[in-house]
């Protein structure tokens, strides 16, 4: 399906309208609302997880507990949009100075873990409901005790300026023009197309650079989940950074969450 803009663009962007429109992709925007509690099966940032009995709580190889960063109940999404229509996926990370990220092996699920439950039970008797065994976290992006309920909406947006594919798409049009004009194009682009904040799918945003540029893979990683820092400072990646989880589309279609690329950065 192809998408079009209805609004006018600044002159410098208008000249590249066709290319910009060719990059338009749907994504699911996430609006978090700070709440006192959520149900076990609800989508959430922070809080306690949906965890069936006889499921081993995720830990690092050293035996340290991981903590729930996000839980997405796919049945709550407005449209599948390449995602499953049911089931719960969870994102756990370590409570350390890097939030479990490994710069040298970003898809090694040691300091983070992804769990997926294809079928859901809403019976409390089927679930672990006592998490008193969890220690107090030392350092997490989400303030200890903060829990967010999530609302979802379908949106469409073009590629972002920090995406590793951006230059390959737009820079050739400026080959015979002053270099300053391309930088002006980037500035206008970033100002007009404000990056999304929290989202599922679509194009990611970074405060520094796209780590996928250095990944040698036959199939590209696409965005699975993005969580930004919030104005109330209850979600804060380092110094107002942003966190991303990536997956290959073929793996997502197979509901295989074993190969996930985890990255976060800050300014």
Residues facing residue 32 across a β-bridge: 150
67-73 sheet: strands from edge to edge:
112-117, 88-93, 67-73, 44-46, 147-157, 25-35, 199-200, 221-228, 242-248, 260-265
Does 5 reside within a domain?
no
Does 3 reside within a domain?
no
Does 41 reside within a domain?
yes
Q: Would strands 88-93 and 67-73 be described as parallel, antiparallel, or unpaired?
A: antiparallel
Does 37 reside within a domain?
yes
Which H or E element spans position 151? strand 147-157
Q: What is the pTM of this model?
A: 0.95
* pLDDT exceeds 90 at position 232: no
3-state secondary structure of 69: strand
Q: What 8-state DSSP symbol labels residue 82?
A: T
Q: pLDDT of 46-102, one tens digit each?
A: 999 999 999 999 999 999 999 999 999 999 999 878 899 999 999 999 999 999 999
Cα 226 from Cα 247, distance rounded (Å): 12
Mean pLDDT in residue range 222-251: 95
Find all residues with CB under 8 Å of 237, minimum gap 6, and list them: 99, 141, 227, 228, 229, 243, 264, 265, 266
- Residue 192, domain extent: 11-265
| Burial (Cβ within 10 Å: 0-12, 13-18, ≥19) of residue 200 | buried
| Burial (Cβ within 10 Å: 0-12, 13-18, ≥19) of residue 80 | exposed
Number of domain units in the chain: 1
Positive/negative CA dihedral, 9, 10, 13, 18: positive
Question: Of 45, 57, 212, 16, which is closest to residue 141 (Cα–Cα)?
Answer: 45
- Total residues found in the chain within this entry: 267
Does 2 reside within a domain?
no
Q: pLDDT of 154-205, one tens digit each?
A: 999 999 999 999 999 999 999 999 999 999 999 999 999 988 899 999 999 9
C-beta of residue 50 within 8 angstroms of C-beta of residue 127: yes
Q: pLDDT of 138-168, one tens digit each?
A: 999 999 999 999 999 999 999 999 999 999 9
What tokens does 256 get? 């295989």
Mean pLDDT in residue range 124-134: 96
* pLDDT exceeds 90 at position 245: yes
pLDDT number for residue 1 = 67
pLDDT number for residue 267 = 76
CATH of the domain at 81: 2.30.320.10
């Amino acid at each position: 399906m192809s998408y079009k803009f209805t609004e006018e663009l600044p002159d410098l962007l208008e000249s590249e309208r066709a290319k910009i429109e060719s990059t338009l992709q749907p994504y699911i925007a996430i609006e978090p609302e700070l709440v006192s509690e959520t149900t076990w099966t609800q989508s959430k940032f922070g809080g306690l997880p949906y965890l069936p009995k006889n499921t081993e709580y995720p830990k690092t190889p050293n035996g340290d507990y991981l903590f729930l960063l996000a839980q997405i109940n796919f049945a709550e999404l407005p449209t599948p949009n390449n995602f499953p229509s049911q089931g719960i996926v969870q994102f756990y990370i370590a409570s350390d100075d890097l939030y479990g990220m490994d710069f040298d092996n970003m898809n090694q699920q040691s300091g983070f873990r992804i769990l997926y439950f294809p079928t859901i039970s809403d019976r409390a008797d089927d679930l672990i409901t006592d998490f008193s065994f969890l220690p107090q976290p030392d350092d997490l992006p989400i303030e200890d005790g903060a829990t967010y309920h999530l609302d979802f909406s379908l949106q469409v947006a073009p590629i972002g300026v920090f995406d590793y594919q951006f230059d390959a798409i737009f820079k050739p049009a400026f080959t015979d023009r002053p270099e300053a004009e391309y930088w002006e194009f980037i500035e206008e682009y970033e100002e007009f197309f404000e990056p999304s904040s929290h989202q599922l799918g679509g194009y990611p945003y970074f405060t520094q650079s796209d780590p996928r540029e250095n990944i040698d893979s036959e199939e590209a990683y696409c965005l699975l989940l993005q969580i930004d820092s919030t104005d109330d400072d209850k979600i804060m990646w380092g110094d107002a950074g942003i966190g991303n989880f990536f997956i290959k589309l073929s793996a997502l279609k197979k509901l295989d969450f074993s190969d996930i690329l985890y990255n976060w950065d800050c300014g």
